[in-house]
A and B are shown apart, each in its own frame.
Chain A
């Protein structure tokens, strides 16, 4: 009797355990590098999904992109990657080449998504070697932020569309003031005592290179050859692009030398314009008393082009099919509901979601620039070639030209050689 009761108790416990297990939601991990207010927007979307899908629970983790990718590599090496991983389109090749990402072409088409439903650059940014590895989430590109009050004071009507390099320079000169209120064109202007700069640009980090890259694209050139194996652009075009940027600082004095915090300078009204991405929108909105807007980057050369990138959502390779299915379901839901992602400043890649961005303030520059966005080349050793680290040749070249006022051609040649060396070494 006792034995039978014992068996019954055990069986009941087993059944209860199985029922409890079955009722447990599938646990998913989602990693992304959105560490600013954009992270809060994504967290809000994840929370919404968790509350409307009781069978799944997603834990969202953010950290800066570089350590995030290190963490991803180490976790993938021991077979424990996240279930969903955010990254940029150009980041895909370095992980896809190591077979760490699941090809998603079928999943995307089975979900009913087609290329025409997304911004072209964003859609194209999800492929590597003809295979689609990610869902396109958004686009983000450079634009010019401007301070409305300083424009009004200088009697300038802010542009709403693309303007020429000369028009931009004229504005920047008018907006640059020395302590006597003189502009750089006025006789007696004192470049050593400037109290307000017309234009803030990033010259100490890799953004100097990105601004140069978009100016190269405005002349119809890319940075690497078709096979992405060697640096390949006419040095005359490269020279002209760097020259334009260098002159803004050292010839026209409309931009400060080696600004350590261009965003802060813009927020407190020390610079009237700033070239930056939409990720700064929340900071501008949070700045009390700052009236701001955006317009596209100037078209300095023959074509319209602006550097940009785009976030994508990938599903790292793993063995648990149920988790992979749940991860796919979440990402499909996220793309369909990505209009709210526009609140982060990024421009949603999904056409219907992007419509919402048009109703938000300060998006003009980005939305006008979006069709002309050019991304960096897609190469497996992207982390080293297009690195933002201080040892990166593209960063050093930018600093040599934009901060140290060095002769452009030798620096450019050095940069090209260094990048060629990295490319020849492979991943």
Chain B
């Protein structure tokens, strides 16, 4: 009996260091953040309780609304591309083809580069007057595009950078998922006369569902929390065309020292992500059932 009790306690003991760090540095500050969002506070001095005023101000703040719309636009540009491309590349490098290891490495390599370095590299590539991209486009008679200084092009440019930078991560996850699918199932389908497309659609894709759920959820959350590359490449401009919610939160909290207001932004983002994940889970459940 005693031995059983000891055995059942041991796993929890292993969890204690992590739980301690989680509570001290994640959970605790998150709860505190909610109370801060109900105050007016500039870090120094005593916070002044103002109820939900920050939240009311937030929803009437055009810059916040702009940042929210921009973030959704960024998600629309990146999430489908990152999922589809990640899956396609994973399917490609899962084949028994020559050079697949090299391809895997090349596709994944950008992911290990620091976000600031990625931003700086692409700033050079996207330079309107002297960038390499416009130089190559000029061979096709395309006039120089102001990638990072035009309201229309800045967000797509950041999206292209993000896709290049992070698609390798999705590829690795899909690849792991693909390699978990027993070869016998595909083999059986092939013997039954299924075409490659039928095998993919009826065997591979349904069995990849758990991986797809994870990849989709991670990509959605990461896209919603986009910050670094925008901060480096455009700073959120021009004319707020690439301003995202996390950036807006950063400006309010750490540049303007409006901790309460910044925390309110953080809590709205949190609520938004919860809703997003719940909707996604429901949708995928329905797809799975059908």
Contact = CB atoms under 8 A, between A and B. Distances in A.
B203 to A, nearest CB: 48
B43 A256 contact: no
Contacts of A404: 151, 238-239
A387 B237 contact: no
B149 interface: yes
B240 A389 contact: no
Interface of B is mostly: loop
Contacts, number: 99
Interface in A234-261: 256-261
B33 to A, nearest CB: 15
A204 B43 CA distance: 30
Given A73-B43, A390-B234, A256 B254 contact: no
B110 interface: no
A265 B130 contact: yes
Contact of A384 (B129, B130, B151, B256): B256
B115 interface: no
Interface stretch (B161-169, B193-201, B243-251): B243-251
B254 A396 contact: no
Nearest to A396: B239
A257 B44 CA distance: 42
Scoring B45, B123, B128 by chain A CB atoms within 10 A of each residue's CB, the highest score goes to B128
Given A192-B143, A389-B251, A427 B238 contact: no
A387 B240 CA distance: 14
B30 interface: no
Interface in B222-237: 234-237
B257 A389 contact: no
B121 to A, nearest CB: 13
A260 B256 contact: no
Contacts of B211: none
B235 A389 contact: yes
Q: Give the interface size bracket for A toward B.
A: 35 or more
Interface string B245-287: 0011001001111100000000000000000000000000000
B130 A204 contact: no
A67 B255 CA distance: 8
Interface residues of B, number: 35
Interface of A is mostly: loop
B130 A270 contact: yes
A260 B129 CA distance: 9
A391 interface: yes
B239 A400 contact: yes
Interface string A55-77: 00000000000110010011011
A394 B166 CA distance: 34
Interface string A375-402: 0000001011001011100011001100
A403 interface: yes
B146 interface: yes
Nearest to A387: B255
20 contacts: A73-B42, A98-B42, A100-B44, A258-B146, A258-B148, A258-B149, A259-B128, A259-B149, A261-B127, A265-B129, A383-B255, A383-B256, A384-B258, A387-B255, A390-B242, A390-B243, A391-B236, A403-B149, A404-B151, A427-B42
Interface of A: 66-67, 70, 73-74, 76-77, 98, 100, 192, 203-205, 256-261, 264-265, 268, 270, 381, 383-384, 387, 389-391, 395-396, 399-400, 403-404, 427
What are the 7 A-B residue pairs with the smallest beta carbon separation, nearest first?
A: A258-B149, A390-B236, A399-B238, A390-B237, A384-B256, A73-B43, A389-B251
Given A260-B149, A395-B237, A403-B150, 9 more contacts: A100-B44, A204-B235, A258-B238, A259-B128, A383-B256, A387-B251, A387-B256, A390-B236, A399-B238
Interface of B: 42-45, 63, 67, 123, 126-130, 143, 146, 148-151, 234-240, 242-243, 247-248, 251, 254-258
